[in-house]
Amino acid sequence: MKSLKRIALVAFTLGLFVSCSSVQVVSDYDKQADFNTYRSYAFYKTGIDKAQISDLDKKRILRAIETELASRGFVKSDNPDVLISIFTKERERVDVYNNYGWGWGGFYNPYVWGPGWGWGWGNNVSTRTEGSLYIDVIDANKKELVWQGRGVGTLSNTKSIEKKEERIQEFVSQILKEYPPQTAVAVN
């Protein structure tokens, strides 16, 4: 019985870590934009300066974007086809899990020890920080938003710089998987 409880606990813990590490992504785009013509980019400093995160995290996000765009053949330019901007949102989530039901187990009192049936209930409360990262692609000539991707996921409060950078890279990578929009590329 103890090994069954341990297996269940390990499975629950792994499921919790997997669910917390995922990034949920949505994107939207202008159907009139010709994404095949965009090959160079620059960062839109005015928009990036408004992002309410530390300058160090901004640098990490921008480096991750540079890496992703370079892997797709984009080049950084003083005369870009598109401007890249970011902004972020953060909120605390409180999760309450109500646990109740019947169970079987051992009990102890000073006079008798033995197996027994019983029931009980309890609440588990946890808080976590959920963050959203938006990446905007703006047509540099028209000064119009042509694509926006948003990633939402749990942020870890880790002291490890390496883990923080990995999480930021994961966010950026998952968001930019949606760029360019597949239906837009297939149409052109």
Residue 17 has pLDDT above 50, yes or no: no
Domain carrying residue 164: 23-96+124-178
CATH number, residue 142:
3.30.160.670
Place of tokens 């890496």: 67
- Is the residue at 79 inside a domain? yes
- The tens digit of pLDDT for each residue in 147-180 reads 999 999 987 677 889 998 999 999 999 999 999 9
DSSP 8-state assignment for residue 156? P
In-domain check, residue 10: no
pLDDT for the residue numbered 15: 38
Asked whether 136 and 145 are in contact (CB, 8 A), the reply is: yes
Nearest to 179 by CA among 60, 41, 63, 57: 41
What distances in angstroms separate CA 112 from CA 2, 38, 59, 108, 128, one per listed residue? 21, 78, 64, 6, 43
Residue 57 counted as domain residue: yes
pLDDT at 29 over 60: yes
pLDDT of residue 75: 98
> How many structural domains are present in the chain?
1
- pLDDT per residue as tens digits for the range 131-143: 899 999 999 999 9
Task: Confirm whether 119 is domain-assigned.
Answer: no
Q: What is the pLDDT of residue 131?
A: 86
Q: What are phi and psi of 126, to 5 degrees?
A: -135, 150
The angle formed by the CA atoms of residues 133, 182 and 144, to the nearest 5 degrees, is 55
pLDDT, greater one: 115 or 68: 68
Give a yes or no: residue 5 inside a domain. no
The reply to whether 163 falls in a domain is yes
Rounding to the nearest 10 degrees, give the CA dihedral for residues 129, 22, 65, 151: -60
The residue that leads in pLDDT, 99 or 63, is 63
Determine the Cα–Cα distance for residues 38 and 150; give it in Å rounded to an integer: 20
Of 52 and 19, more confident:
52
Residue 54 lies in a domain: yes
Q: Is the dihedral of CA 36, 42, 47, 51 positive or negative?
A: positive
* Per-residue confidence (pLDDT) for residue 59, from 0 to 100: 96
Arithmetic mean of pLDDT, 61-84 = 97
In whole angstroms, give the CA distance from residue 48 to residue 58. Answer: 8
Is 141 among the domain residues? Answer: yes
